[in-house]
Structure 1
């Protein structure tokens, strides 16, 4: 989320200095401001602070795009967390199964990207590591090949922009 000095006409009361936070997990200062990751093991906040926070009330800048609702929820979560009243976020989190599937899809993209692996190699190394997936005609007519090809297409769609729907909480059909 993007934070900057609040205009004086607003009664903003969000004040904190992430550089002094005991929950700072990472930071980088650049010409455009400070970039911080704050968290406590349960929740993590990524903040772009565009001003010096010392003695300044802060306001959130929310781009009006397809992720506006998610950004608003993130600001609300940060404000509750800073006040010590954090509750479980309404932003959807993937289930254990969904996390494993996303991990598999990312592994497929990595393997295909680093060595342009064939679908047979993807199946043998990632999807069916303990199964002899066959060769030639046996592989071409196998259900394992069809499933592998579906997973490759899904991974490529995710990389081509489908991840935005996940981030916005619109994952569509749950797999």
Structure 2
């Protein structure tokens, strides 16, 4: 997210071609996610004293590198340069595959699949299904139950926000 200190917080500095997706106002800050095609810019506008020029604020914390990358993207957009995918804000390949697996597991639960069906249909598709007491005490069962709990937490916490990049 790019933090912009500006004297006129009501005047959103939308760049040509960018449209607001999400807006929220809280106290003296105005939050905005703007999009142009697949490119997204996340802005936080903070009120500054009159007569001050617009400034980008990069806090020196654990996210400083990500903030600097976001500020660079914002600066490129203000000059009308092409924006590629936002690799810093995008989930990694591992994270994407895990989220897809969790959503597949939730779809399976909604379709009435049992934990054993999920385990050997989605989680361990190359394993031979276990039966009886072997299944009850298996690490496959425990792992599958953890994934089911993660899938439920993902749905409860608002997984659809992933699609909007909020």
Which deviations, in whole Å up to 9, do the C-alpha atoms of 1:88-128 show, x marking residues without a partner? 256374466641323334777x89xxxxxxxx955645873
1:128 is aligned to: 121
Match of 1:24, SS?
strand
Could you say if the C-alpha distance between residues 81 and 2 of structure 1 is closer, same or farther in structure 2, counting changes exceeding 3 Å?
A: same
Match of 1:91 among 88, 91, 111: 88
Match of 1:84, SS?
coil
Match of 1:46 among 42, 46, 49: 42
2:110 is aligned to: none
Q: TM-score, normalised by structure 2?
A: 0.56
Which deviations, in whole Å up to 9, do the C-alpha atoms of 1:61-99 show, x marking residues without a partner? 222111111110010011101221134256374466641
Could you say if the C-alpha distance between residues 97 and 123 of structure 1 is closer, same or farther in structure 2, counting changes exceeding 3 Å?
A: farther
Distance in 2, Cα, partners of 1:33 & 1:25 = 17
Distance in 1, Cα, partners of 2:17 & 2:119 = 41
1:170 is aligned to: none
Distance in 2, Cα, partners of 1:20 & 1:83 = 10
Structure 1: where are the runs of 5+ without partners? 7-14, 112-119, 160-175
Does residue 1:82 correspond to 2:57, yes or no?
A: no
CA RMSD of aligned residues (A): 4.5
Question: Is the Cα–Cα contact under 8 Å of residues 123 and 144 in structure 1 kept in the other structure?
Answer: no
Distance in 2, Cα, partners of 1:40 & 1:141 = 52
Structure 2: where are the runs of 5+ without partners? 108-112, 155-166
Write out aligned runs for 1:127-146 (5 A): 128=121, 136-140=132-136, 142=138, 144-145=140-141
Which deviations, in whole Å up to 9, do the C-alpha atoms of 1:120-156 show, x marking residues without a partner? 9556458736989566413135564265367579x59
